[in-house]
Copies of this chain bind each other. A is one copy, B any other.
Amino acid sequence: MNEKYLDELLQALEEGRLSREVVLAELKDLPYRDIGIAHLDTHRGLRDRLGEVVFAAGKTTSQLETILRHLLTMPGNILVTRLDDRQAAALQPLFPQFTYDEVGRCLVCRRREIEPAGRGTVLVVTAGTSDLPVAREAVITLELLGQPVELLADVGVAGLHRLLAYREQLWRAAVIVAVAGMEGALPSVIAGLVDRPVIAVPTSVGYGAAFGGVAALLGMLNTCASGVGVVNIDNGFGAACLAALINRAD
């Protein structure tokens, strides 16, 4: 499209319909604006699939309503993450076309067919049941990105047999998203079992010296296993985006 516009400009110059001065002025600014958009747009690939994403935390209900009404005038899927109970209760009656996931605290509006986009399966694993909200956010995001997803919950390292019972499922996965709070040892153990990329998501689950997820974060950054990349505390969405880029079919 932008290339087409460039082509038209040059054709007009060639045919004398536009003066050199006019074309020169246009060209000087153009690349930053239009070609720029083509080249520089943030993860166009991801965004094309995901549609629009709204981070609800810290927004008022009325701000969210305005944003969603605006987005509904445009095509594409919509994902709202990090809703609290109050926000969810207020928005659900207003937007019946959205589905609300209570565990993952996400509102999703699917208006477009999602094409399969993954080479293999992304396996989301959690250490405990309290890590499920973060895991669900990842699962929902991955589904919108067309990724085949599986979820394996509550297989933390304090009961190794629970994890080892699923070693086959771990081995089959193309990418593993390991979600854990407290001491955050799950990604280390998993990365020692498989030879696929492991995305480690520390969660704010825990108390005292867990420091809101810092203990888990440090544990994951200092893993003695190789093949682990870490994202921010509770960032299930970010882990899903990275997993989708790693696992993309093309």
Footprint of B on A, CB under 8 Å?
3, 6-7, 10-11, 13-14, 20, 23-24, 27-33, 35-37, 39-46, 57-59, 127-128, 130, 156-161, 164-165, 167-168, 171, 182-185, 188-189, 191-197, 199, 202, 204-235, 237-238, 241-242, 245-246
Residues from chain B with a CB closer than 8 A to the CB of A223 are: 158, 182-183
From B31, B43, B191, A195 is in contact (CB under 8 Å) with B43
Q: Are A225 and B28 in contact (CB under 8 A)?
A: no
Task: Give chain A's interface secondary structure class.
Answer: helix
- CB<8 Å pairs between A and B, sample of 24: A3-B24, A6-B27, A10-B20, A10-B23, A32-B39, A36-B164, A40-B160, A42-B192, A46-B195, A157-B188, A157-B192, A183-B220, A184-B219, A197-B242, A197-B246, A206-B222, A207-B233, A207-B235, A208-B233, A209-B214, A210-B218, A214-B218, A227-B245, A229-B242
From B37, B194, B209, A222 is in contact (CB under 8 Å) with B209
Question: CB-nearest residue of chain B relative to A202?
Answer: B208
Question: CB-nearest residue of chain B relative to A192?
Answer: B158
Q: Are A164 and B32 in contact (CB under 8 A)?
A: yes
Q: Are A225 and B42 in contact (CB under 8 A)?
A: yes
Smallest beta-carbon distance A28→chain B, Å: 6
Smallest beta-carbon distance A169→chain B, Å: 12
From B31, B33, B43, B229, A30 is in contact (CB under 8 Å) with B31
Q: Are A218 and B221 in contact (CB under 8 A)?
A: no
From B20, B35, B159, B196, A41 is in contact (CB under 8 Å) with B159
